Amino acid sequence: MNKAERIKRMKVPTVDPALAKRLPPGQVLTERFPILHEGEVPVYDMNEWTLRVFGEVDREVTLTYQQIMDMPQSTVTRDIHCVTRWSRFDNAFTGVRFRDFMQAIGVTPKSSYVMLHGDQGYTTNLPLSDLDREDVLLAHSLDGEPLTDKHGWPLRLVVPHLYFWKSVKWLRGFEFIDENKPGFWEQNGFHINGDPFLEERFSGEALPIPEDEWEKKEFD
Ligand SMILES: Nc1nc2c(c(=O)[nH]1)N[C@H]1C(S)=C(S)[C@@H](COP(=O)(O)O)O[C@H]1N2
Ligand SMILES: [Mo]
């Protein structure tokens, strides 16, 4: 078979046109859920677990898991998009809306940027305006089941309108800061904002991420 023949016979991945506009440029739709992170999956003693809100705030607070579970709970169904090119549609995350969380703790920010802290030293930065939206959650469940350890249990951030590296797993802290400072991936070549529909993947030169890298990851 010559090359032209081979290309003609190639199975082109098709996306239902009704769904196509939900798929950002350069993304591939998957129904599986890849697992991606740096470092080890943390092991918790939930009696010791805390979530801290600190930095430029009128008062710092430290919360227990139970205090978060006692807050108003919401379920938000959204598509998610990873910078390594996979997208997964219709993920029903359950948890506390960032807005409801801030209201419940009664903390007033004195600055408009946030550094999010996850366990194992992971950080990512966001303007407060990207957190203060009706679909940003401190999530503990997906599709009606508790998150698995590898997907960020007991608590992960979900910021569905930005690439998924902003959605910190094993979330432990919101640090309010004066200016927008780059977090872990943002210091390592990723874009400071990360809007998938604008393809804000990298801060400069494209990083050498093979297009099929995510296919080789662990899934569940
Ligand atoms: N704590 C922590 N959170 C993290 C990461 C990480 O390395 N550590 N990786 C991010 C990246 S790059 C992605 S794509 C998503 C992956 O989430 P998933 O494993 O549930 O698919 O988590 C994000 N949150
Ligand atoms: Mo990622």
Query: Is residue 18 assigned to a domain?
Result: no
> Which pair of structure tokens corresponds to residue 144?
């009606």
- Taking CA atoms only, the protein residue closest to ligand 1 atom 16 is 36
> Which pair of structure tokens corresponds to residue 91?
């993920």
pLDDT in tens, 40-84: 999 999 999 999 999 999 999 999 999 999 999 999 999 999 999
**Residue to mutate (ligand 1; options 165, 191, 215; most atoms within 8 A of CB):** 165
- Model pLDDT, residue 8: 60
Query: Is residue 186 assigned to a domain?
Result: yes
Contact at 8 Å (CB) between 83 and 97?
no
pLDDT in tens, 122-164: 999 999 999 999 999 999 999 999 999 999 999 999 999 999 9
- Model pLDDT, residue 211: 84
**Residue to mutate (ligand 1; options 37, 44, 201; most atoms within 8 A of CB):** 37
What 3 state SS string does 148-179 have? CHHHCCCCEEECCCCCHHHCCCCEEEEEEECC
Measured distance CA(182)–CA(189) in Å, rounded: 10
Q: Which atom of ligand 1 is nearest the CA belonging to 170? A: 1
Ligand minimally distant from the alpha carbon of residue 124: 1
Query: Is residue 171 assigned to a domain?
Result: yes
Domain at 63, CATH number: 3.90.420.10
- Work out how many domains the chain is built from and give that number: 1
Nearest to 142, CA basis, from 87, 80, 218, 64: 80
- Taking CA atoms only, the protein residue closest to ligand 1 atom 23 is 165
Domain with 96, as residue range(s), is 53-207
| Structure-model confidence comparison of residues 31 and 17, the more confident one | 31
- Model pLDDT, residue 76: 98
DSSP 41: P
pLDDT in tens, 78-115: 999 999 999 999 999 999 999 999 999 999 999 999 99
Query: Is residue 9 assigned to a domain?
Result: no
- pTM score, two decimals? 0.93
Q: How far, in Å, is the centroid of ligand 2 from the Cα of 36?
A: 6
Return all residues near 85 (Cβ < 8 A) that are at least 6 apart: 26, 27, 28, 209, 211, 213, 214
- Taking CA atoms only, the protein residue closest to ligand 1 atom 6 is 37
Query: Is residue 57 assigned to a domain?
Result: yes
Asked if residue 34 has pLDDT above 70, the reply is yes
3 state DSSP class of 108 = coil
Query: Is residue 20 assigned to a domain?
Result: no
